[in-house]
Amino acid sequence: MHVCSAEFLQSANRPDSYPPADWPEIAFAGRSNVGKSSLINSLLGRRKLVRTSRTPGRTQLLNFFLVNRAFCLVDLPGYGFARVPAAVRRQWGPMVRIYLETRPTLRGVVWLLDCRRVPNEEDLQLLDWLEELQVPTIPVITKIDKVKRSQRVRQLKPILAATGLPADAFSVFSALSGEGRQEVWERIEEALGL
Ligand code: GDP
């Protein structure tokens, strides 16, 4: 994918503040600190278009980006962020669930897991929703540079066991080396129908 333009459209917390449903859309979801902003910035070739978790304000909303004036990428709020007040945390479920249920242009969700963490209840809840709502899902394991190549199979076993997904369902990605970037783009293009 050649990214000619990438612009922030708007933040939203409910359907009446989403941008118009004019472009096919891919959303990104995962626990806070999983490397979601780093993945999106790497895909777009922009270092700081998407803010990282150190600026939690905007990360508690859905953030819409228009790419090549052709499709949208949506950064969904990360879950499990310890410094976010309980009241804000409680809004996460409905905010994301309503988006997944109602967005007519949604073509797929990139679902991120950290290679060093066993998926927890919140991760698996999201996977359940994606399966229930039949949203095409692109599972990506992040920060793969943190694991030696010889240790990968062993490291990923608990993730496969917890999710029940086969190894080939996952792409692995490193924002440091760029490994997996091309593969993730290919899967996104396929989901977008490009
Ligand atoms: P977000 O909260 O999911 O948006 O996560 P960020 O993209 O802000 O990343 C959280 C932390 O993990 C930051 O300190 C990043 O530098 C680091 N990080 C993100 N991706 C990678 C990666 O692929 N490899 C390594 N080693 N660190 C990463």
Q: What is the ipTM of this complex?
A: 0.99
63 within ligand 1 shell (Cβ under 6 A) = no
**Within a domain: 57:** yes
Residue 107, classed as helix, strand or coil, is strand
**Within a domain: 1:** no
Q: What is the CATH number of the domain that holds 23?
A: 3.40.50.300
Residues sharing a CB contact under 8 Å with residue 189, sequence separation 6 or more, in sequence order: 1
What six digits make up the tokens of 100? 């997944």
**Within a domain: 142:** yes
Residue nearest to ligand 1 atom 24, measured at CA: 143
**Within a domain: 103:** yes
174 within ligand 1 shell (Cβ under 6 A) = yes
**Distance from the alpha carbon of residue 39 to the mean position of ligand 1, in angstroms:** 8
Number of domains in the chain: 1
**Within a domain: 127:** yes
**Within a domain: 18:** yes
42 within ligand 1 shell (Cβ under 6 A) = no
What six digits make up the tokens of 155? 């490291």
Probe target for ligand 1 pocket from 33, 34, 38, with the most ligand atoms within 8 Å of CB: 38
CA 41 to chain CA mean position, Å: 12
How many residues are present in the chain? 194
pLDDT tens-digit profile, the chain (194 residues): 999 999 999 999 999 999 999 999 999 999 989 999 999 999 999 776 666 544 555 568 899 999 999 999 999 998 887 677 777 778 888 999 999 999 999 999 999 999 999 999 999 999 999 999 999 999 999 999 999 999 999 999 999 999 999 999 999 999 999 999 999 999 999 999 98
Q: Which domain holds residue 174?
A: 6-192
